Structure 1
Amino acid sequence: MTFEEKTIDSEYVFKGKLIKVRRDKVTTVDGESIREIVEHSGGVVIAALKENGNMLMERQFRKPVEGIVFEAPAGKIDPGEEPVDAALRELKEETGYTARKIEFLTKTYPSVGFSAEILYIYLCTELEAGETDFDDNEAIDLEEHSIDELYDMVIAGEIIDAKTQIAVMMVKGMIDKGELADYLD
């Protein structure tokens, strides 16, 4: 049996630069309850695939997990910005590359239990190298890895970032189906 919760009351308990936190009083199957919800402007994830079959990857320190995370290039969508434009902007800022071709792969909600954040995942191909333009206080180490190596790292549990796992698995699936045969060397 499914039950749709109705909002009885809603209030913001925090409004920051990146997120807002809302407390909703809702109806439930047993009466009423409180839901704490994180609002986020959304983000993009870029599977930047070179003609040699390598994907551009990053290593950067992530404070929430107190460590360096190996991940695909990604970033937030600015107010009023379309996701595809954010993906192209973030690709350029974080890797220095521009893409002549971009394809929407999927969207995902990273944690539907408490967050309304949505991530849009794109495949970028026909890449041209250029200069990075990191955000203030951003330190990123850029690497290239073959899609097969990245796939093996996902399966082995070595890539812990969910958005990167999804991007790698989708690109690997496309390659295995022959959908990128005309592009890859």
Structure 2
Amino acid sequence: MNWKRRARRGITLLGHAVGYDSLERPDGKHVRRLWFDPPDSVAIVARSGDELVLIEEYRPRLGERVLSCPAGRRDPRESYERAAKRELREETGYEAEHVELLETYYPTAGMRKRRAVVFADDLTPGAQRLEPDEFIEVRTVPVEDALDVVRSGTTCGWSLPPLLLAEEAGLL
């Protein structure tokens, strides 16, 4: 099946490209498809011995607190591994001696961004370095309970997919 891109229109809104593509479907009909280009991001599955380091944060769009893996944006010239170390340190205070890229994927088809899942271990605790608009509580849970604990509340793309990938890799 061949789709043909006829035109692309976009604007920059709050530093992110947003727009739509005009496409011709294989059946000859013309459609528009919305897209959004936020920065790439990283979710960190951080293991400290028999504990997993998670964060609890109020998510305004969901209207509730969510327990998830530490996560954040990747700067354009930064590797996913370096971004994971930085975000882990900022959000939790933990320094990771070892990080390993597990996967990169598109979290949704409507966003042209990639999300990486990075496993971190050999952790040393320290002080959080939160941005002024971040209000994050650090929580640790036993590794063997992590999936159940996360699934007992509201889950999001920062929690369940990273943990499942780490479990599949034999890291949980």
The normalised TM-score by structure 2 is 0.90
Q: CA deviation at 1:22?
A: 1.5
The answer as to 2:65 corresponding to 1:68 is yes
Instruction: Indicate the percent of aligned positions where both proteins have the same amino acid.
Output: 23
Q: 1:4 to 1:126 in 2, by over 3 A?
A: farther
Deviation larger for 135-144 or 76-85: 76-85
Q: 1:10 to 1:62 in 2, by over 3 A?
A: same
Q: CA deviation at 1:152?
A: 2.0
Q: Which amino acid aligns with 1:43?
A: S
Which residue matches 1:109? 106
Which residue matches 1:172? 167
Deviations 1:3-62 (A, max 9, x none): 242321111144223x321111112122221010011111000000011x2111111111
Q: Which amino acid aligns with 2:6?
A: I
Which residue matches 1:44? 42
Alignment of 1:1-185 (within 5 A): 3-17=1-15, 19-31=16-28, 32-51=30-49, 53-112=50-109, 114-153=110-149, 156=151, 158-175=153-170
The count of residues paired between Structure 1 and Structure 2 equals: 171
Q: Distance in 2 between matches of 1:56 and 1:153?
A: 12
The normalised TM-score by structure 1 is 0.84
Q: Distance in 2 between matches of 1:137 and 1:66?
A: 16
User: Is the 2:80–2:118 contact (alpha carbons within 8 Å) kept by the matching residues of 1?
Assistant: no
Q: Distance in 2 between matches of 1:144 and 1:35?
A: 41
Q: Distance in 2 between matches of 1:149 and 1:163?
A: 17
User: Over aligned residue pairs, what C-alpha RMSD do you find?
Assistant: 1.8
Q: 1:171 to 1:25 in 2, by over 3 A?
A: same
Q: Which amino acid aligns with 1:26?
A: L
After TM superposition, where is structure 1 displaced by more than 4 Å over at least 4 residues in a row? Answer: none
